[in-house]
Structure 1
């Protein structure tokens, strides 16, 4: 009988679709991957042919509506990473802890019914139900590598450079203060489940079995304390399989390079900013595919060289593009690198700041402030990256290495290995 592997991604499309890629490979290798999913993600995994098990709503806390949460905190996205510590990061950790407490009992019951051979957790918090179920569990670090602290790695979510300085300490101290209430509640919650407390600023421990990191070598940090290769495996990206994308017919510039624009499922709500970008695109000699999410009806006529849709099979689209403009989500960043495509990163929160800085530092793209840009600056950034032959050559060479590393196969193989 095939071994059941339960994958439990957080309530974000980045984590969810990253896990889909691993599940596709687990299935190919003969396992039975199933998904545990939060309310609101129904149908995401069944579209790829996987069984879904939905967590029932608990009673101890109010579930977080993340679309509403992001909408209420949009003003914070105009702030620096340091300013966001109080306005966005602290409240986000409070909401994440609320959600963890909310789903603990439904999760415990569901794991008892499923009886999986292993659990794959792509999340930023720990659940006692997973630690106590008695089977190996795998941690996936699908955020930036900065999620794993180290003396030579900038503070998580800080957007700081790789060179240590006073800004590292300033951010860490402010972060610790802003997240202290959520961290205390998290440790109390873990203690209720018989779990040890976590260090300051950390909400999820390392798995004693296996930890998988997406970070490709081209953007990886040099660590003061190298990670144990027996428990920490770098996947050099982890890209799911999607059907080939048929490029739409454009009314203009049909033979010009394609630029893909996507700010993730939540970033698409920033309609005014995207409209401003589209106006800038109108007189450029390129074609643009723009992901506008469920806000498609908020747009009227668009230029002949722009095509809008509410969803794209992103890996297939990135593969056909010459440039990817995105928010710095780790999936998007890794997919751009996997297919040898330069990035313009316009972050608004979380690890997008870290990836934007890393894109600049490692010469794989450019960072652009999400709001404080002019049309000329955006046009110049696009032209600079499309004309940079040395960068394109380096990215293509890196793409060959990442594809050879076969991250999804490595992930699935390592997961099955711990069952033996």
Structure 2
């Protein structure tokens, strides 16, 4: 596979960028070239990860030297999104701000067009609600959901995104939240939807501003937390356990002032933006000062406005990835990265959500029994300190989390990303280049792909396979269940899995024989000038046809 040029365009919030960094790292390790198109407040911060920066000057950012975290934190505080109001009230505030978001999106699209011309990428990774320029480019693009999956995968069987409501109901609370949310998003949704339709794209899903990719959509959420026990993985979506980056250039050791102190070691962070609510940080730090334990604190962008007591050490930010393995408990705002990274390290959590999908993460951790949800603004001294003692002394939970951590690290799902992207580019790129040059492209393929290739101008010749009883089931689901049934998805080592696959070769040989029959019929029907084959073994029908094959 040739070296791919991969263009990332994430929302410039710290959590979104960090998730994209994790994706870029595995691609760079596989030999690909990664570029970020991003606000100039990120100048120089991506270079340590060997990521090329194309910086955008944004009209709403008057101070390029101010961190994006501080900009967004102060913005959220000014709008009342950081504060003691309910998840629904905060959702309404955010929705009322969407008009300015649309204006920003249009400004970003202007930058995107220039960046695509400059980079000429093979694939685009988008962590934004949408981008008309990306969709018009004809370049394969992947939608990244770096938030709780409820934000992008809407399903009547799951609670509303941003609500923090239990998956067990009551349904009446879901309905109330949805009614108010839908009333407040309708006008903005109509604007976004009209723009999409006017540009020749499908209608947006009702009351959702997110435009899914026809190529591929991905999210990072641990299997044990995900909603797969309630709804299936939708077609054209792929789940990873996390989007967890490596920060080898930021080594961390427990500070000397904490080494000789008694008690468990606890990490406390309300994220890159939550720390801008200094009054609340002071309140919580004051409570934690009365604990017998030690604390590493990520203070946030206004770190110089408050001090820490003797049982704490902290800085404006800390290398979280390297801190998590050292601690016994994490107190977090519930950002998606922190949740998935903490889970990967096998640590219990106190989740104190502040806004958005953090409420959903907090509720999911709580109802699955991997931690406790508390109110960041209303929890009492007794409630917080008692919860800390309960979790640091829960040996059963500790062992359970260690086993989950071992599974996540053994499977290391993110290492599959380069192959997924390579296959995506190879599959669509070859056909699209040929079509663009005026040639006609046809796929001979299983009928589970019905209708999915037509948007690319590719003709479909569909094969009914005897081993596929349900043509409406996606191939991803079919193969996923197949691998699970055979024991190939699981904690076994690479050698054990290779042996299982080899023992299953008889089935694959039979499948290959049937494919050969379908191919022979298709060649007679189509009479192609050239045949492109991506199969494990050569096809006798192609070799006998006399047609040029590759």
Q: TM-score, normalised by structure 2?
A: 0.71
Number of the residue aligned with 2:14? 13
Q: How many residues align?
A: 413
1:295 Cα offset (Å): 1.5
SS in structure 2 of the partner of residue 157 of structure 1: coil
Coordinate RMSD, CA, aligned:
2.1
Q: Give the match for residue 288 of structure 2.
A: 281
When residues 75 and 217 of structure 1 are mapped into structure 2, their CA distance, relative to the original with a 3 A threshold, is: closer
Change (3 A) 1:44 1:108: same
Q: CA–CA distance in 1 between the matches of 2:43 and 2:304?
A: 23
Counting only pairs closer than 5 Å after superposition, residues 18-33 of structure 1 correspond to structure 2 as 18-33=19-34
Q: 2:150 aligns with which of 146, 165, 176?
A: 146
- Secondary structure, in 3 states, of the residue corresponding to 1:218? coil
Give runs of aligned pairs for residues 10-409 of structure 1, distance below 5 A.
10-57=11-58, 66-74=72-80, 77-86=83-92, 88-123=93-128, 125-147=129-151, 148-164=153-169, 165-222=171-228, 226-228=232-234, 231-243=236-248, 244-250=251-257, 253-254=260-261, 256-300=263-307, 302-409=308-415
| Contact 1:154–1:161 under 8 Å retained in 2 | yes
Q: CA deviation at 1:103?
A: 1.1
Structure 1 residue runs of 5 or longer lacking an equivalent are none
- CA distance in 1 between counterparts of 2:200 and 2:229 reads 32
Q: Give the distance between the partners of 2:288 and 2:259, measured in 1 at CA.
A: 12
Q: Are 1:290 and 1:307, in contact at CA under 8 Å, matched by a contact in 2? A: yes
- Cα distance in 2 for partners of 1:199, 1:151 equals 13
Q: Which runs of no fewer than 5 residues in structure 2 stay unpaired?
A: 427-550
Structure with bigger RCO (C-alpha 8 Å, 6+ apart): 1
Deviations 1:155-214 (A, max 9, x none): 111111102411111111111111122212222333454433312221122222222121
Q: 1:384 to 1:27 in 2, by over 3 A?
A: same
- TM-superposed CA distance for 1:357, in Å, is 0.6
Deviation beyond 4 Å, 4+ runs, structure 1: none
- C-alpha distance in 2 between matches for 1:94 and 1:247: 45
Rounded Cα–Cα distance in structure 2 between residues aligned with 1:364 and 1:118: 37
Gap change, CA 1:326 and 1:202, over 3 Å in 2: same
2: CA distance, partners of 1:94 / 1:364: 38
Greater mean deviation of Cα atoms: 34-43 or 150-159:
34-43
Higher CA-based Rg: 2
CA distance in 1, matches of 2:260, 2:291: 9
Query: TM-score under structure 1 normalisation?
Result: 0.93
1:58 deviates by 6.7
